[in-house]
Amino acid sequence: MNQSLSGIPSIYFCGHEHCQPGHSFGPAVRPHYLIHVVLSGKGIFKHQGHTYSLKSGDSFLIKPMDSTYYEADQTNPWEYAWIGFNGQEIPALLNQTCFQDSCIFICPPDSERKLNLRTLMHSILNTFSSANYNPFTLTGLFLELLGLMTGPSVVEGNSYSTQYIKRAMDYMKNNYGYNIRIQDIAAAIGIDRTYLYRLFMEQQKISPKQYLLQLRIHIASDMLSSSDYSITEIAYSCGFKDAAAFSNQFKKMTGYTPRKFREYLNLEKTIYRKH
C-alpha cells in the first residue's frame, strides 16, 4: 500500500496476470475500488445482470461491495493488469471519466489509447514494485490512466458514434471562442480526425469544420441582436481571427454583413415598438 498522503487517492495494490482459458473469479465483492485493464485477448465481465464482452484496450471498474464475475475467453484468454484503490475523492474523480454512468470503458476505434493504456499500466506496475517509490509518481500515473478513460460509456439505445458526435458538439459549444482546430476536437474526445469527419458526414451531412462555423455564426447573430458589443468584439468572442474574416463568413452564410444585419434587426424592433 502506498504511503498515506492527504488529498490524493490511496493505491492499495497492483497486479498482472496472463489468464488460462476459462479462468474466472467470482461472483464476489471487494471492499475497495478495482480497475482491470485488458492488455491482450478477451473475456467477459458480469455486473448487475449485464454481461459485457471486453477485448484488448478495454477496462472494467469494480466499486466497493459490488458483486461481479469475470471470465477469460476459452480460445483467446485475456491478459490484464489491475489497480486497487480508494479515497474520499475517488467518486468525484470517476465522475469525470466514462465510469460516471458505466462500469466499463471501451477503447475507441481509430485511437492510440490502446498503446498508451498498456504503456501506462506497465509503468504503474513497475513503479509500484520498485523499492522506496515516490507515491506522488504513482498517483500521477494513476490519474493519467483515468484521464485516458474519458470516452463515452455505452448507454442503452445510443451508439458509440452518436455519443462521439454529442461530445464533439459539446466541446465546440464550450470552446468556440478559442482558436480550436478539428484535430483538437478529435483529440479531446479520443478519436482520429478522419473518423470524426466521417461521423459528422454520416449523421449531420456536414463536416465538423462547417458545423463549428455555423455554431459561431449563430452565436454571433444572437450577440448582434441582443447586445451593443462592437463587430470586432463579437468577431474575437466567437473565435474569428479578426473582424474582416468574421464579416466575410457572416455575409456568405446570411447574405448580410454584420453591420447591415444589426441595422435590419434594429429597424424591425423600432417598427414593432411603434405598433
Domain limits, CATH 2.60.120.280, in the chain: 10-148
Domain limits, CATH 1.10.10.60, in the chain: 157-275
Looking at the predicted structure, is the pLDDT value of residue 100 above 90? no
CA pair distance 196, 207, nearest whole angstrom: 9
Share of the chain above pLDDT 90, in %: 45
pLDDT in tens, 15-24: 999 999 999 9
CA pair distance 210, 230, nearest whole angstrom: 25
Cell digits of residue 216: 459561431
Architecture of domain 10-148: Sandwich (2.60)
Q: What pLDDT score does 270 carry? A: 63
Q: What number is the average pLDDT over the span 45-70?
A: 92
Q: What pLDDT score does 134 carry? A: 78
Looking at the predicted structure, is the pLDDT value of residue 257 above 60? yes
pLDDT in tens, 168-224: 898 899 999 999 999 888 887 777 888 889 999 988 899 999 999 999 999 999 999
Looking at the predicted structure, is the pLDDT value of residue 243 above 90? yes
Looking at the predicted structure, is the pLDDT value of residue 153 above 70? no
Overall pTM > 0.75: no
Nearest CA to 58 out of 16, 122, 109 is that of 109
Looking at every residue in the chain, the average pLDDT score rounds to 86
Residue 182: what residue type? I
Looking at the predicted structure, is the pLDDT value of residue 155 above 70? no
Cell digits of residue 171: 466541446
Nearest CA to 53 out of 44, 61, 41 is that of 44
Fold of 157-275: Arc Repressor Mutant, subunit A (1.10.10)
pLDDT in tens, 101-151: 789 988 876 567 788 888 889 999 999 888 777 788 888 899 888 888 875
Cell digits of residue 194: 478522419
